[in-house]
Amino acid sequence: MNWVRLFHRYILRDLTGKPVRTLLTVAGVALGMGVVWAVHLSNERSITSFTDSVQLLNGRADFQIQGNGVPLDEQLLVQLGWLWEVASLSPLVEGRVKLPDGSSVPVYGIDLLSEAPFRSYLASDSRRALANVTRADFLRLLSRPDQLILPGRLAGRLEVKKGDSMVLLAGERQRNFQVAALLEAEGAAGAFGGNVVFLDIAAAQILLERIGTLDRIDVLVEEGADREAVLRRLQRELPEAASVWRPEDVTAQSRRMLRAFRFNLSALSYLSLIVGVILVYNTLNIAVVRRQREIAALRTLGASRRAVIGMFLVEAAGLGLLGALAGLAVGGLLAGAAESLVGRTVETLYTGLDTLAAERPFDWPFAGFVVGLGALLGAASGIYPARRATARPPVQVLREGFLEPSRLRRYRVQTRLGAAALAAAGVTALGPPVAGLPLWGYASALLAMAGFALLAPRAALLPLDWLARQRGRLPVEARLALQSVRGGLSRLVVAIVSLMIAVSMLVGVASMVGSFRETVRAWLDQTLVADLYVRAAGAGANDGFNPIRAETLEALSRTPGVAALGAFHGRRIVLGGFPVTLAGGDFEVLARRGRLLFVDGRDTAEVARALIGQDRVVVSEPLALRQGVRAGDVLELPAPRGPVPFRVEAVYYDYSSDRGLIVMDRGRYRELYGEDGATSVSVYLEAGADPRRTTERMLAGAGEARLQIYPNAQLRSRALQVFDQTFQVTYALEVIAVIVAVLGITNTLGALLVERRGELALLEFLGADRRQLRRMVLWESGLVGVLGTVAGTLLGAFLAVLLIYVINRQSFGWTLQPDLPVATLGAALALVLLSTLVAGLYPAMLAASTDPIRSLRTE
Amino acid sequence: MRVALCGLLLWTLAWPDYRAALPGYRFEFPRDHGSHPDFKLEWWYFTGNLRNEAGRRFGYELTFFRTGLEDAVRTPSRWQARDLYPAHFAITDPEQERFVYYEKLNRTSPGVAGAAEGTLEVWNENWVARLEEGGVRLRASQDGSAVDLWLVPEKPPVIHGTDGVSQKGSLPGMASHYYSWSRLATSGELRLGGERWRVEGLSWMDHEFSTSALEEGQVGWDWFSLQLEGGEDLMLFQLRRKGGTVDPRSAATVVSVSGEGRHLSDSEFELEPAGYWTSPRSGGRYPVRWRIRIPGLGAELEVEPLMDDQELVTTSSTGVVYWEGAIRVTGRWRGGEAKGSGYLEMTGYGGERPAI
Amino acid sequence: MLELRGVSKTYGLNGQRVTAVADVTLSVAPGEFVALTGPSGCGKSTLLHLMGAMDRADRGEIWLADQPLHDLGEEELIQVRRRQIGFVFQFFYLLPTMTVEENVELPLLLAGVTCHLERVAALLEQVGLSHRARAYPATLSGGELQRAALARALVGRPRLIIADEPTGNLDSDNGGRVLEILRGLAGREGVAVVMATHSAEAAEVASRVLRMRDGRVQT
């Protein structure tokens, strides 16, 4: 009880008595925690909602029979007659369609009659889910190919009602549909945030041109039947082209696909938390130093050392806790912005789906984790200050005049530790990926940060000492500032370190992104050489469904002005547990006109010619790196009549997707898969042909086919635009880290000034005017800013190397050519410096407004 | 007169796309065992009374329906639904007072459901009825309940009604083409609740196809199939109208030992409820016991169910609530003692539920 | 040189008005060493602050070398402090982050004076601290600290030294040495020194002793 009272009188009153500082600390932690929470939320909403959606659509099936990139013959159901004895079956056709508003959504062709046991919209509560579906509507869905079902939310967005007609664009064809039913956003209809269209399987076969084939057969084994036996028999009896999966394998694939992205985003958010935690440490550190004498007095009055440490730890934990709670609110706001950014990134990089974020219930466990983490990190950051505050015998403390012994410390032990940490950072940077994640890379980043933080005070002395020798050339305010920074380095170093870390993240990430962008730009310049690019109008991003038909290709190639067509068809398969794209490309055209960049530097024409008519493929770099595939290796590629071995001829650079691409000659592809359409076409024009006129002619010649035709430049700028969108989240994270660090500077300087108010008063006694005091404080914050920024830039350079050569390569499999975005970085750093000066404004005001007589008297 | 389907169809009278059942139809077998897709509505009904070696009695019902959809569009997709195929399967175990039933609803689609034209072959997932050399193979199983039976006709098919039609309503076309295999010697295996028995007995098969059978004002019917130990069989139905009156289109067929059918009109027999059972599920009050009088044949029959609760609530296929169960027959027949078994179907007593 | 006429200063403290200095009239001539004694809370410090241009009187006039301190603006007061007044405190108040030399130099820097290194060296010589010029305050003894503080007070060639209990934290040896320097200043260089003190010994060294009680100077 007494300790509670003491805590209240001693700690709480102090906190509430210094509201600005308390607020700044809490705000810093809140921002750091807010970022973690926001990234978690947006991860959840856009990434997890994708995997959840996959799960929702998998439904309750025990197994899925799939063709692995090859459609299943619907007659397979006849062969599977035995399965009815022990299981229910539900066939599906899947695809993508473009809606009237231009968004691309998944479309599921389901057997409305066999769905009930599998997915919940038609289950026992079906009458509620399909509330406004009359028997006539239902029968019409079955008997007519132009009926569709929409989740109500999507219908609301599209402003269509039940009974309205709407157009769906699939591939190059569009068809008219009537909205037969609206669904509650429950179960499968809640997948992808309700952005999904359901058709009866017959309508889907027609719309998606999948007559006679199925994409999937879901199997639900009867209660009491032997699941494993069913699985074994399926594995034994299924034809070569079909394979059976457990739903968890399927979700695991999509998880695996998104894991690296998700991990890296979270890792970055935790790094910005570090900056916030340093802030708590800082506040505590300052508080205990300031209150050393009081602490000593308390102890002479009978408080044990442990009790004093305990009180400060509770204070620290409390600050962390408050910060975390506020962080939940801040994060909720940030999440709104982060979500759409993350969602767009996931869409462009991975899913190719315009999935509006799904509404998710408040994540209590993770909120609990955030709050707990806040308290824990707060308490942890308080340990050292609290122990130090009570380390010296109280009598000794009480005898001294000014507070801190101001011998200039040389930080020997710290410096040695720092050097060791840096060495360790160097070693860990060489570590291999762990389960596909760059864990060692991040360990190295943390070690480097720790190393730099430990080295910071000693390193800061170098320029400070040098400056001190130049004192004759500096204005007095600068000299005063310099002296106080040098003397107070042990305290200021925390602010310097937090700024350093924030700046280092900014520099590191900006350098990585800049290099990435430059690499992509150069790659686009070199490989995007056709004049025009054609896709089916109904194709979404990264989407191999519904190709341009062969007859349309025919028509395109006959267009006057067209010299050559490079048709390309890709399908999604699973290879080595990863989703990859298997494609057929026109290597004849590539050899003559196109260009790929091969890792081993070989000539495009040479490699392309080696592939024509052969069982050989080229693979993209991300696939090669992730699955350890090298030129000369043999890949077993799934085909309708069983796997076919293909030799890897070469690995080529590709930055379009980290999914991984395997490309074979189109002729071989056509033989194996019977596919003569194209998901994308590069068009080479005859010399002198006008791209715009040729485009018009192509569109006119394509008849009913709806095509998108991009001129080279437009595709290129679109690609870079997508790239830039992709990294907006990362930038946002870094900016927040810098804001936290700047708050830290304000906080530290403000606190130090309060502590040094005696000094300031003295300066006034000695003839200083207020302008001088203000300038002095601004110089101090400028010095701190410069030190932090310079150190941050150095650390950032190391992080950039890590990000480019280790983290990015191990996570996504891309080789980046380092390229410093000098202008961007320069501007960013200038902005950081400016904001550190702004950070000094409040303390400067504080300095100029103290009452010297009182200040000196209370000393 | 198998009914359950009316849930899907009751409100319609005329279907421009389909043929009406008109007098003068000439049956031909095995062609007419097969599907008649130009009629809107069709069913194959198998019911039977079986015994195991120890004399323990069982009843079974296995029914395949086909109903053509309105405005069905022809497309290249084999999933485009032109017909729906509901199916019901039930087993009665009077000794343990068990009655289980299952239902399916599918469309014509590869490997899932369908019916052949030209011969008897109708299936719904793994429920199958198929005419093979010398008999009919009947198979169905679900959740541990199964029949795997071999049915051998002891009489040729008997055509009900007159001039090839069984009239159900006042207008021409409100009728069906309807025949029965009234006596099929049955043997095979029956499973229930994890147990299996070798069983033998008699089955009855009805095959009926029409486009519009019922008329407004008809609320339900009571239908009997009776197999007497003397070798004669009897089919009777009465159509009930709103207000409790009996429709004059009620009729019966007496099948002789050699298989000739004799049509009886509603004035030639009398049906009278003799005992009721109320369903705890649907609340329907079914007259599960009956007295049948056919003065012209000296028949005075008592019908009672092997067990009371043989009600089907078919929410997820036809949406109809009906009672269809195994019965035993006693009383007098042509002056002598009557003994036999059969099936009774009663509709229009319980609340109907919408389909799907 | 320093003249106070009817000076009063009142503070509001916890709703009560406390008169710290009440109608004080006195003058200090150049070269005079005045000791101000009296019990704690009698108004010594307030009077010193008023004389040192750190505070303003509510009533009365304060003249320092013909400048009306009571009439000057904030900027002008600062200029007065810079050029004409030196302060010495009981707790020395050397800035811990600066060497002795730098501490002494500080007032000159603040006043914007250049070319002052010789002046600093000479003063350190004078107070006997040449050998500690580059030392940090934390390594100095109390006497050394106060001598360094004295040097700092003198560096701007002030006409008036305000010393608030300069020996209060020193043993008698060191205290004596500090008093010696102060007296020397007054005697040799014509600097006026006003020193608040509790110590009778210290008061003895002064050329004149003023006693204060309840804000009034007793004569």
Q: What is the tens place of the pLDDT at every residue in B155-181?
A: 999 999 988 888 888 777 788 999 999
End-to-end CA distance of chain B, in Å? 23
How many helices and strands, by DSSP H and E, does chain C display? 7, 10
* CA neighbor of A779 nearest in space, from A851, A850, A855, A841: A841
| Residue keyed to tokens 């004596």 | C176
pLDDT of B7 > 50? The answer is no
Q: Which of B8, B71, B111 sits opposite A143 (nearest CB)?
A: B71
Residue in chain C nearest A409 by alpha carbon: C97
Q: Which of B80, B106, B356 sits opposite A145 (nearest CB)?
A: B80
CA distance B44 to A733: 69
Across residues B30-50, what is the average pLDDT?
94
Name subunits touching C (3+ CB pairs < 8 A). Answer: A
CA distance A272 to A327: 13
The encoded tokens of residue A668 equal: 């071989």
CA distance A407 to A487: 8
Q: Which of A404, A487, A766 sits opposite C110 (nearest CB)?
A: A766
Cβ contact B–C (≥3 pairs, < 8 Å): no
| Residue keyed to tokens 């509430």 | A16
Q: Is the CB of residue C143 less than 8 Å away from at least one CB of chain A?
A: no
Contact call for residues A840 and A781 (beta carbons, < 8 A): yes
Average pLDDT, chain A: 83
Ramachandran region, residue A200 (left: φ > 0; alpha: ψ -120 to 50; beta: rest): beta
Cβ contact A–C (≥3 pairs, < 8 Å): yes
Residue in chain A nearest C139 by alpha carbon: A407
Buried b (16+ CB within 10 A) or exposed e, A711-744: bbeebbeebeebbeebbbbbbbbbbbbbbbbbbb
Closest Cα of chain B to A188: distance in Å?
A: 18
Cis bond before residue B76 (omega within 30° of 0)? no
- Helix, coil or strand: residue C113: coil
Higher pLDDT, residue B313 or B180: B180
Q: Is the CB of residue A399 less than 8 Å away from at least one CB of chain C?
A: no
CA angle C80, C85, C91 (to 5 degrees): 130
Residue in chain A nearest C114 by alpha carbon: A472
Best probe of the C interface among A392, A473, A755, A765, by most C CBs < 10 A, is A765
Residue contact A126–B112, C-beta within 8 A:
no
Number of Cβ atoms within 10 Å of the Cβ of C91: 18
Q: Is the CB of residue B141 less than 8 Å away from at least one CB of chain A?
A: yes
How many helices and strands, by DSSP H and E, does chain B display? 1, 23
Residue contact C81–A763, C-beta within 8 A:
no
How much is the CA Rg of chain A, to the nearest whole Å?
33
Higher pLDDT, residue A557 or A820: A557
pLDDT of C28 > 80? The answer is yes
Residues 123-152 of chain A whose Cβ lies under 8 A from any Cβ of chain B: 126-127, 135, 138-140, 142-145
Q: Is the CB of residue A768 less than 8 Å away from at least one CB of chain C?
A: yes
Across residues A693-710, what is the average pLDDT?
90
CA distance A652 to A787: 43
Compute CA distances B42 → A27, B45, B167, B215, whole Å. Answer: 75, 10, 15, 17
pLDDT in tens, A319-371: 889 888 998 888 888 777 777 777 777 666 666 655 555 566 778 888 898 88
Number of Cβ atoms within 10 Å of the Cβ of C112: 11
Mean pLDDT highest for which of B213-227, B322-336, C1-15, C105-119? Answer: B322-336
Contact call for residues C2 and C67 (beta carbons, < 8 A): no
| CA pseudo-torsion sign A306, A307, A308, A311 | positive
Give one DSSP letter per residue of A460-519, joined into a string: HHHHHHHHHHTGGGS-HHHHHHHHHHHHTHHHHHHHHHHHHHHHHHHHHHHHHHHHHHHH
Orientation of helix A489-527 relative to helix A476-487, angle to 10°: 100
pLDDT in tens, A499-532: 888 888 888 888 888 898 888 888 888 888 899 9
Best probe of the B interface among A113, A128, A175, A208, by most B CBs < 10 A, is A113
Number of Cβ atoms within 10 Å of the Cβ of A617: 26
Q: In chain C, which ranges are continuous DSSP H helix?
A: 44-51, 74-84, 100-111, 117-127, 142-154, 172-189, 200-205
Residue contact B77–A143, C-beta within 8 A:
no
pLDDT in tens, A399-417: 554 444 444 566 788 889 9
Residue contact A206–B81, C-beta within 8 A:
no
pLDDT of A48 > 90? The answer is no
Contact call for residues A148 and A182 (beta carbons, < 8 A): no
| Residue keyed to tokens 């289109």 | B249
Q: What percent of chain A has pLDDT over 70?
A: 91
Q: B198: which residues sit within 8 A by CB, 6+ positions away?
A: B52, B53, B187, B188, B189
- Helix, coil or strand: residue B68: strand
- Helix, coil or strand: residue A181: strand
pLDDT in tens, B79-118: 998 889 999 999 999 999 999 999 998 998 888 999 999 9
DSSP A607: H
* CA neighbor of B115 nearest in space, from B224, B41, B10, B190: B41
The reported pLDDT for the residue numbered A428 is 93
The encoded tokens of residue B57 equal: 């009695």
Q: Which of A405, A483, A852 sits opposite C54 (nearest CB)?
A: A852
The reported pLDDT for the residue numbered A503 is 87
Number of Cβ atoms within 10 Å of the Cβ of A748: 31
Amino acid at B124: N
pLDDT of B217 > 90? The answer is no
Q: Is the CB of residue C76 less than 8 Å away from at least one CB of chain A?
A: no
Number of Cβ atoms within 10 Å of the Cβ of A745: 29
**A616-630, A661-675, A730-744, C99-113, range with the lowest pLDDT:** A730-744
Q: Is the CB of residue C73 less than 8 Å away from at least one CB of chain A?
A: no
Q: Is the CB of residue A762 less than 8 Å away from at least one CB of chain C?
A: yes
Residue in chain A nearest B315 by alpha carbon: A124
DSSP C190: -
How much is the CA Rg of chain C, to the nearest whole Å?
17
**pLDDT-derived band of residue B211, with 50, 70 and 90 as boundaries?**
confident
Q: In A301-363, which ranges are continuous DSSP H helix?
A: 305-346
pLDDT of A77 > 70? The answer is yes
Instruction: Count how many pairs of residues, chain A against chain C, have C-beta atoms within 8 Å.
Output: 78
Chain B positions in Cβ-Cβ contact with residue A111 (cut-off 8 Å) = 79, 107, 109, 112
CA distance A180 to A132: 9
| CA pseudo-torsion sign A740, A746, A747, A749 | positive
Mean pLDDT highest for which of B28-42, B305-319, C77-91? Answer: B28-42
**Cβ-count burial of A315 within 10 angstroms (0-12 exposed, 13-18 middle, 19+ buried)?**
buried
